[in-house]
Amino acid sequence: MKKVSVIGCGVIGLTTAITLEKAGYDVKIITKNLHFKTTSAIAAAIWMPYKANPIDLVNKWSLETYHILEKMSHDPITGVNMVDFLYLTQTDEIPSWEEAMPTEHLRKASKKELPPSYSFGYVARVPMIETPIFLEYLFDEFRGEILMDEILDLEEACTPDNIVINCTGLGAKLLTNDEALYPVRGQIVKMQASPNLLSAADDHPDHFFYILPRKDCVVLGGTADANNYNLNPDDSATSAIINRAKKVVPKIGNLPLLNVEVGLRPYRSSIRLEKEPDKNIIHNYGHGGSGFTVSWACAGEVLKRVNEIVD
């Protein structure tokens, strides 16, 4: 039996490790940070293809992951819930991710469902992930060894009987000298949880926002600042995020602010999911803002490549 070392413990690393383990491989996770200290723990985490390429593969992987998350939503311990998500648009043009979800779960929003100043929108039935619950669930699902260590050389971690899977997200930039990988900074605001709030988003560059009501809080976003490594919250961005959300859901203005968090999305012109020539190293990173959305399908792609190595 081949041994596999998965580098990284975010949603990509965990889903990859679990998929390989369930396929019968002897899997070990090697990570600098545990799941609750990764970028995945900060993510708003609703199923939605965002800032990830190539579009055709992202749509395919998103659809595959959609079905898996939908099945997981039947078990409350996973932290996955199906919600009606209002996606606001400037025209009635069908969203680019239409092919990434079951057609029966996407429809045009009625006029009554649209907030003031909006004439177009879609309602999508999609999985929303409570990240603290979901990541802890994945962590508990994994049965193999977890080694706390920082890998600085992938080839040194690779031995004749060991396959290495690189799921280090933005960390892959230095680890692999990948100049195509860069951060897209995202700031979110967490407000006190409130029942029966609208889940909504508008990705227009001039007034980009999203509202995601969870059990533990209401997540408001966001920002998308390319090549910005600053992890400190910006007060002006916090005010802008809250104000944009209030225009759609006025009640948000009355909710107490819990905290503000910043994460760095690992963006790349194309997700890197490939085996290195003549090496037992497989890369699985560069998912942008779609890590949760494509995670399980990408893990399945990794399994195919691991099987090819073994065969």
Q: Which of 14-28, 91-105, 223-237, 280-294 has the lowest mean pLDDT?
A: 91-105
Residue range 176-215, pLDDT digits in tens = 999 999 999 999 999 999 988 999 999 787 778 999 999 9
Return the H-helix or E-strand segment holding 225. strand 225-226
**In sequence order, what DSSP letters do the residues of 107-155 get, joined into one string?**
EEPPGGGSPTT--EEEEEEEEEE-HHHHHHHHHHH--SEEEE---S-HH
Domains of the chain, each with CATH number or no CATH: 3-310 (3.40.50.720)
Q: Which residues are within 8 A (CB) of 269 and not within 5 positions of it... i.e. 6 or more apart?
A: 53, 180
**pTM recorded for the entire structure:** 0.96
Q: Which residues are within 8 A (CB) of 175 and not within 5 positions of it... i.e. 6 or more apart?
A: 151, 152, 154, 166, 168
Taking the mean position of all CA atoms in its chain, how far away is CA 265?
A: 9
Q: How confident is the model at residue 311 (pLDDT cuts 50, 70, 90)?
A: confident
Spatial contact of 86 and 113, defined as CB atoms under 8 Å apart: yes
Residue range 67-110, pLDDT digits in tens = 999 999 999 999 999 999 999 998 888 888 999 999 999 999 99
Proportion of the chain above pLDDT 70, given as a percent: 100
**What are the structure tokens assigned to 95, written together?**
């969203």
Residue 1 clears pLDDT 60, i.e. is over it? no
Spatial contact of 66 and 126, defined as CB atoms under 8 Å apart: yes
Neighbours of 112 (CB within 10 A): 5
